Structure 1
């Protein structure tokens, strides 16, 4: 067992607080270069800061970051509390858009973490998957199809909440819609990553103060600050 995994398992023993697992599945392909990737980095940092400002969320939220760019998907941050991993990694834009590979990796990591919760007797809330892209997938079609089917099944059985977010006019909203059978994807207004991630941080805080299994209403009015259909 590597040291990082050991720390994450020990954290479940030392801190048995019910967990909110949030995976950020982020497009870092070449088309995100410049202002978009800079604003995305600022937004993710604000998300971390918002969670750290809430004492309950600080110990409940576990963040995972999976990126898709270059030639493949990559987990740059496995699920961990912000006590263990207080700062996000810096994102850099390059390469292609292997979206299906990234979502499958995210779901695999989530299933593994849920098993660790169960093995240590730690309760958890319905996990969240945030999928953000400024284009369309150009990875393996079989991987994409499998990722869509897996995500739809988890959403339909109430085992996952998905937030599909399109960035800019080039985002393939039809593909994003396939990942979200319960709610339509949203398009980010301009480069309002800051507003989105602040909203997401508040939503995580609100969830962490509820009871696992309880239905938590999202701040629908707040969405209008950063997103549009």
Structure 2
């Protein structure tokens, strides 16, 4: 199907303003064991909470970028879009879960999906920590997605990049990516949150957004973190683009959702 026709069909069926979110998740080798298990469970809790909010499920669009050895955009499309040969599991609450990880191209039309169609992947951990490349890819996806909104006359909230890592970048050039994030934040092009798991280099992570210091996760409380994220996105999507949206208390207050 022609991409323009696809966009027109998608937005005609769901004309709600969008809040695009890229989850940039560390799946490097140091996340093996309980950490990656809890991260997967947290992602499922995030999906369940947002699906329970009808308006948020239509307005929030999610893309997942995993970085462990290499940087991948993960297939998070729901069971209606699963391949015929693919096995889809359901948890006790009826949430569809992918038992394995499939990749999609770094294409905003394929990487993003509204929460009502979101199926969290089951990730494993290995490799190094190419954080700079992962965030660069997230920025590119958001630029592309915003352009699609504009071409189709669809309003949107300021995009989010929500990054979780337990280390420091192992790739070159991350400093220039951090500068790009700072510039996008300054022009209200993106909201960047960094979360450091035990062992993370918080000083390096703070280079991406000095005005919003990264949060150090308490233990492996991924579900608490994703619950906060889902409530925050729900609060934003129940406002109007450009409004101040009060968030659940974690010391951050509120977020200005206007955009460039």
TM-score by length of 1: 0.89
What is the number of equivalent residue pairs in this alignment? Answer: 217
Unpaired segments of 5 or more residues in structure 1?
224-229
Change (3 A) 1:103 1:6: farther
How many angstroms does 1:95 deviate by? 0.3
Partner of 1:198: 227
C-alpha spacing 1:138/1:8, structure 2 compared with 1 (3 Å): farther
Post-superposition offset of 1:203 = 0.6
Partner Cα distance (1:56, 1:136) in 2: 36
Matched, 1:109 2:141: yes
Mapped contact 1:155–1:182 kept (Cα < 8 A): no
Deviations, residues 202-221 of structure 1 (Å, cap 9, x unaligned): 11111000010111122224
Q: Which deviations, in whole Å up to 9, do the C-alpha atoms of 1:2-61 show, x marking residues without a partner? A: 89x975663223211011111100100000001000000000111111110001001000
Q: Tell me how far 1:88 sits from its aligned partner.
A: 1.1
Greater percentage in helix: 1
SS in 1 for 2:244: coil
Q: Which has the larger radius of gyration?
A: 2
Paired position in structure 2 for 1:80: 113
Equivalent residue of 2:112, what SS?
Answer: strand
Distance in 2 separating the partners of 1:65 and 1:8: 20
- What's the Cα RMSD here? 1.8
Alignment of 1:52-201 (within 5 A): 52-70=51-69, 72-77=70-75, 78-83=111-116, 85-139=117-171, 141-142=172-173, 144-168=174-198, 170-201=199-230
Would you say the 8 A contact 1:28–1:91 is kept in 2? yes
Q: Distance in 2 between matches of 1:80 and 1:116?
A: 14
Tell me which stretches of 4 or more aligned residues in structure 1 moved more than 2 Å.
5-10, 220-223
Q: Deviations over 1:140-172 (max 9, x none)?
A: x22x1221011000111122111100001x101
- Where structure 2 has 5 or more consecutive residues not aligned to the other structure, the ranges are 76-110, 253-260
Is 2:245 the partner of 1:216?
Answer: yes
